[in-house]
Amino acid sequence: MYIQAKHPFSRPDSGQTSGPPSQPPPVRQGGSHGRVRHGNGASGMSQEEQEASTHTYEEAEAVKRCTTYTSADRMYPGGACGRGALCSFIRPHLSYLAAGIAVLLSLVAVGFAPLTFINKERDQDDMRKLLTTLDNRQRSLVASLEQRLHKISKTLLYCPTGYTIFREICYKAFNTRQTFSGAAAACGEGGGTLAMPRDSGTNGFLISLYKSVSENDDFWIGLHDQREEGSFEWVDGSALGTYSSWRYGQPDDSGGREDCVSYSTHWKDNWNDLPCDRRIRFICQAFPGRPVP
C-alpha cells in the first residue's frame, strides 16, 4: 500500500488557501530495513539520501553524548569520550611523567640521606655512652674488690697483745711510769717506738686511747728537741712537719731543760714540753705482723 504525501501548502496559483501543516505521512515498515516510500510522484528522498541522513543523525547523537555526561562520568569530562581523550593525552606524555617520577624519587632519596646520617651519628653516640657506662661499672667493681681485699688483708694482720690497730698501725697506752728514754726502750722491746701522732686523726685516736687508761696523768709521745733546741723531731729521725697540737704558750723550754714532749691532761690534752727525766706514762706504736702458720 502506498500513501501519497501531501504538500503542507498548496501552490498560490492553485486557488487553494494555505492551512495548517498536515500530519507527517505514516511510515510503513517492511522487511529488515524499514524503508519509507512516498507515492504519487511526491518529492521524497532516495534510499542513499535516507542512509546519509541516518549517519548524520547518529554522529550528531554521538557528539551530544560526548558533550553531555551523567554524574557517574564526572571523573572524566565527556563520559566515555572524555576517557578516550584522556588516554590519548597521556600516551604521548608518558616520557615526561616518567622523568617527573624519577626526579621526585631522587628528591626523596636526597631527603632521606641526612636522616640516615643522623641515625648513624645517634647509633655511634649510643655506643659511646654504653662503653662509658660499662667502663664506669668496671671501675666501680674493681674499687669494690680492692676494698674487700684490703679488709681481708687487715684480718690477716695482727697486733702484739694489748695493742689496737688504727690506720694499719698498732698502738698501746701503758699504765706504767718511765722516763722518756726508759719509755722508748720499753716500746723497743715490743718491736716498736714511742707513738708519733703526725695528723689530727691519729692524735684524736691516741687521746681516746690513753684516757681509757688514765685521765689524770701525762703520757710521753715520740717527739723531742734533744739534739738542737727548738728543732723538734720524731724518734725515727723525721722532722716535726706541718701538723702540731701544742697548748697555748708551748713549747717554752722552761728552765732550759724541757726537751721532751707529752700529752698534758691538765692542758686539755694538748702537747707540752717537759724535762726528759720525768717519770710519766707513755704510748707505744708498732707495725702489725702476720700470723705464724
pLDDT tens-digit map of 143-161 = 888 777 766 665 667 898 8
- Strand 233-234 versus strand 219-224 pairing type: antiparallel
Rg of the chain over CA atoms, in angstroms? 64
CATH code matching the domain that covers 164-286, chosen among 3.10.100.10, 3.40.50.2300, 3.40.640.10, 3.30.70.141 = 3.10.100.10
Cα–Cα dist 194/187, whole Å: 6
Of the candidates 52, 24, 48, the residue with the CA atom closest to the CA atom of residue 38 = 24
User: Across all residues in the chain, what is the average pLDDT?
Assistant: 74
pLDDT computed for residue 144 by the predictor: 84
Cα–Cα dist 170/286, whole Å: 5
pLDDT computed for residue 122 by the predictor: 76
pTM for this model (two decimals): 0.49
Q: Which segments in the chain show pLDDT lower than 70?
A: 1-97, 103, 106-119, 150-156, 290-293
Here the cell at position 244 is 702540731
